[in-house]
Amino acid sequence: MSGQSTGNPLAHAIELARETVPPMHPAGRPFVFGGLAATLLLRRLWKPLGVAGALTTAATAAFFREPKRVPPPRENVAIASADGLVSLIEEAVPPPELGLPAQPRMRVSVFLSVFDVHVQRTPAAGVVEKVAYRPGKFLSADLDKASEDNERNSVLLRTVDGHELVVVQIAGLVARRIRCDVAEGEKVPAGQTYGIIRFGSRVDLYLPPGSRVLVAKGQRTVGGETVLAELPPLGEG
């Protein structure tokens, strides 16, 4: 069992550290390694600069953290794809590049500050049917028009129950890089990390008709764990 004493104090301390300090997403390694190299160079020039470099590198590593999450054992629900603040709950048409009917669906938008975990997780178990990237602007991600105007990457997911879920990574005022690590035809479990947006962003989740939203505007979400909505019974979506 995780966290049990192994009888070796050093091994136990290492195990506790692994459980306490979240691992880093691979996208952060070039930034952290570069920061470490810069820190060593700055320290040779002037020790206070080295301290500043070390703090900046630590902050960068924290930004790219990927904590372990446990999806709720509930069926027919959509869970949050990101940590952050529910900024909008409204009906909207999914991104046109996915080729879906231009009919409004309930959309739940989660805004991520630079202090939030920035990896994105799958909202349900299913199959990735389509991935579509679209370049765009870099408006503040908390604005309504960010969903339409900003750079984005959209994923159409078909759940094991046959529902369509659309999750969209949206770049923000500071975020300038969207990474998506799933491909069309790939099977994914609920809560799996599938991408990351670097430095402030937003994630939209479009729900099938008949879904019941279970969060409120202003509520904080935990990616991979918070249940955003109950999906409709089979045959009603």
Spans of all domains in the chain: 9-64, 77-230
**Highest mean pLDDT range out of 25-39, 140-154, 160-174, 220-234?**
220-234
Q: Is 201 a catalytic residue?
A: yes
What tens digit of pLDDT does each residue of 64-84 get?
777 889 899 888 999 999 999
In the structure, what pLDDT confidence band is assigned to residue 142 with cuts at 50, 70 and 90? low
Residue of 198, 225, 171 whose CA lies nearest to 64: 198
Q: Can you read off the two tokens belonging to residue 92?
A: 């909207």
Within the chain, residue ranges assigned H as helices are: 9-20, 29-45, 47-63, 146-149
What tens digit of pLDDT does each residue of 145-189 get?
556 767 899 999 999 999 999 999 998 665 557 889 999 999 999
Architecture of domain 77-230: Distorted Sandwich (2.70)
Q: Which of 87, 147, 201, 211 is catalytic?
A: 201
More confident residue, 134 or 4: 134
What local confidence, expressed as pLDDT, does residue 216 receive?
Answer: 97
This prediction has a pTM of: 0.80
What local confidence, expressed as pLDDT, does residue 5 receive?
Answer: 47
Q: Average pLDDT, whole number, for the chain?
A: 83
- How far is it, in rounded angstroms, from Cα 172 to Cα 113? 10
Check whether 1 has a pLDDT greater than 50: no
Q: How far is CA 237 from the centre of its chain?
A: 25
What local confidence, expressed as pLDDT, does residue 116 receive?
Answer: 84
Percentage of residues in the chain having pLDDT higher than 70: 78
- How far is it, in rounded angstroms, from Cα 30 to Cα 9? 33
In the structure, what pLDDT confidence band is assigned to residue 199 with cuts at 50, 70 and 90? low
What local confidence, expressed as pLDDT, does residue 166 receive?
Answer: 98
pLDDT average, residue stretch 54-65: 73
